[in-house]
Structure 1
Amino acid sequence: MFKTFQVVALLLICNTLFSQQAKPIDHIVKRLMDTAGVTGLSIGIIDNGKIECVKSYGYRNKATGQLNDTNTVFNAASLSKAVFAQLVLHLVDKGKLELDKPLFTYLPKPLPEYENYKDLASDDRYKLITARECLDHTTGFPNWRQLNPNRNKKLQLFFTPGTRYAYSGEGLYLLQFVIEIITGQKLEALAQELVFKPFDMSRSSYVWQTDFTANYAVGHNQDGDTLRLVKRTEANAAGSLGTTIGNYTRFVYYVLQGNQLSDALHQQMFSPQIGISSSHQFPTLTTDTTSKYKEIQLSYGLGWGLFKSKYGQAFFKEGHGDDGWQHYTIGFPDKKKALVIMTNSLNGESIFRELVEQVTGVTIPWEWEGYQPYQPTVALPAATLAQYTGRYKGKFEIIISLENGQLKVEVPSEGLRKTNLYPASDNSFFIKTIPVSIEFAKSADGKVNQLSVLDEGKVYEFSRKE
Structure 2
Amino acid sequence: MDQTEKLVQRLDGSQITYSKLDQKVQELVDTAHVSGFTLTIFNHDTTIYRKAFGYANYQQKDSLHINQVFYGASLSKSVFGYLVAQLANEGIIDLDKPLQDYLDTPIPEMEFEKEWRGFKNLENDKRYQRITGRMCLSHTTGLPNWRWISRTGVFTPEGDIHFYFDPGTQYSYSGEGMMLLQYVIEKITGKGLEELAKERVFNPLNMDMTSYLWLPRFENEYCNGHTVKQEVIKKDIPDEAASAGSMETTPLDYSKFMEHILSLKSNDSPITNLMFKPNISIDSKQQFGKHSIEKTDENKDIKLNYGLGWGILTTPYGNGYFKEGHGEGFQHYSIIFPEKNMGILLMSNSDNAESIFKEVLEVGIGDIYTPWYWENYIPYNDEPERSIANSHN
Q: TM-score, normalised by structure 1?
A: 0.75
Higher relative contact order (CA 8 A, sep 6+): 2
Q: Describe the SS at the equivalent of 1:139.
A: coil
Q: Does 1:53 align with 2:46?
A: no
Supply the distance in 1 between the matched residues of 2:376 and 2:225 (Cα, whole angstroms): 20
% identical equivalent positions: 42
Query: What's the offset of the Cα at 1:269?
Result: 1.8
Report what 2:86 is aligned to: 90
CA deviations 1:316-344 (Å, max 9, x no partner) are 1111112x000000110112211001000
Out of 239, 244, 256, the residue aligned to residue 238 of structure 1 is 244
Partner of 2:231: 225
Output aligned runs, 1:438-457, within 5 Å. Answer: none
- How many residues get paired? 368
Shift of 1:18: 2.2
Match of 1:352 in 2: 357
Q: Deviations over 1:271-323 (max 9, x none)?
A: 3110000111002894210011111111111111111123210111111112x
- C-alpha displacement at 1:15, in angstroms? 3.4
Question: Among 261, 285, 289, which residue is 1:255 paired with?
Answer: 261
The question of 1:337 aligning with 2:331 is answered: no
Q: d(CA) in 2 for partners of 1:240 and 1:300?
A: 22
The within-5 A match list for 1:370-449 is 370-375=376-381
Aligned partners of 2:211 and 2:248 also within 8 Å = yes
Partner of 1:442: none
8 Å contact kept, 1:73–1:203: yes
What is the CA-CA distance between 1:262 and the residue it aligns to? 7.6
Deviations along 1:337-359, one digit per CA (max 9) or x if unpaired, are 11001000000000000000111
| 1:309 and 2:309 correspond | no
2:34 alignment partner AA: V
Bigger radius of gyration, 1 or 2?
Answer: 1
Kept after mapping to 2: 8 A contact 1:208/1:242: yes
Once residues 224 and 180 of structure 1 are traced to their aligned partners in structure 2, the CA distance between those partners, rounded to angstroms, is 39
Residue identity in the other structure for 2:16: A
Instruction: Determine helix, strand or coil for the equivalent of 1:166.
Output: coil
Going from structure 1 to structure 2, the CA distance change for 1:104 and 1:81 (only over 3 Å counts) comes to same
In structure 2, give the amino acid aligned to 1:22.
I
Q: Which residue of 2 is the match for residue 143 of structure 1?
A: 145
- Which of 197, 203, 227 is the equivalent residue of 1:191? 197
Q: Report if aligned partners of 2:262, 2:341 keep a CA contact under 8 Å in 1.
A: yes
Deviations for 1:197-224, whole angstroms, at most 9, x for unmatched residues? 0111000001111101121101001111
CA distance in 2, matches of 1:227, 1:92: 39
Q: Following TM superposition, by how much is the alpha carbon of 1:171 offset from its aligned partner in structure 2, in angstroms?
A: 0.7
What residue is the counterpart of 1:22 in the other structure? 16
Measured in 2, the distance between the counterparts of 1:262 and 1:336 equals 13
Matched residue, 1:105: 101
Q: Which residue of 2 aligns with 1:273?
A: 279
Which AA in structure 1 matches 2:212?
Y
Structure 1 distance, partners of 2:227, 2:166, is 38
Q: Counterparts of 1:295 and 1:263 in 2: how far apart (Å)? A: 27
Distance 2:91 2:72 in 1: 29
Aligned to 2:218: 212
Q: Structure 2 unaligned segments of length 5 or more: list them.
A: 112-117
Cα distance in 1 for residues equivalent to 2:290 and 2:338: 27
CA–CA distance in structure 1, aligned partners of residues 50 and 215 of structure 2: 23
Matched, 1:167 2:173: yes
CA distance in 2, matches of 1:251, 1:49: 11
Structure that is richer in strand per residue? 1
**What letter is aligned with 1:353?**
K
- 2-side partners of 1:17 and 1:157: how far apart? 46
Aligned partner letter, 2:254: Y
1:168·1:284 contact (CA, 8 Å) conserved in 2? no
Q: Which string of whole-angstrom CA distances, capped at 9 and with x for unpartnered residues, describes residues 215-263 of structure 1? A: 110100111110121111211111110000010011011111228x983
- Pick from 132, 135, 146 the counterpart of residue 133 of structure 1: 135
The one-letter code of the counterpart of 1:98 is: D
Task: Give the Cα separation in 1 of the matches to 2:351 and 2:6.
Answer: 28
Change in CA separation of 1:284 and 1:198 when aligned onto 2, cut-off 3 Å: farther
Going from structure 1 to structure 2, the CA distance change for 1:99 and 1:262 (only over 3 Å counts) comes to farther
Instruction: Look up the equivalent residue of 1:366 and give its one-letter code.
Output: W
Measured against aligned partners, the alpha-carbon deviations of 1:131-182 in whole angstroms (never above 9, x if no partner) come to 1001110000010001135944211111111111000001110011111111
CA 1:317–1:94: 2 relative to 1, 3 Å:
same
Match of 1:119 among 105, 118, 121: 121
Contact 1:45 1:53 in 2 (8 A): yes
Query: Are 1:143 and 1:284, in contact at CA under 8 Å, matched by a contact in 2?
Result: no
Query: Does structure 1 retain, via aligned residues, the 8 Å contact 2:85–2:274?
Result: no
1:327 maps onto 2:332 in alignment: yes
Provide the rounded CA distance (Å) in 2 between the counterparts of 1:47 and 1:32: 23
Q: Which moved more, 1:149-158 or 1:128-137?
A: 149-158
The one-letter amino acid of 1:21's match is: Q
Alignment TM-score, normalising by the size of structure 2 = 0.89
Task: Output the aligned Cα RMSD.
Answer: 2.2
Q: Which runs of 4+ in 1 moved over 4 A?
A: none
- Structure 1 residue 190: deviation in Å? 0.9
What residue identity is the alignment partner of 1:39? S
**8 Å Cα contact 2:69/2:250 also seen in 1:** yes
Residue 186 of structure 1 deviates from its aligned partner by 1.0
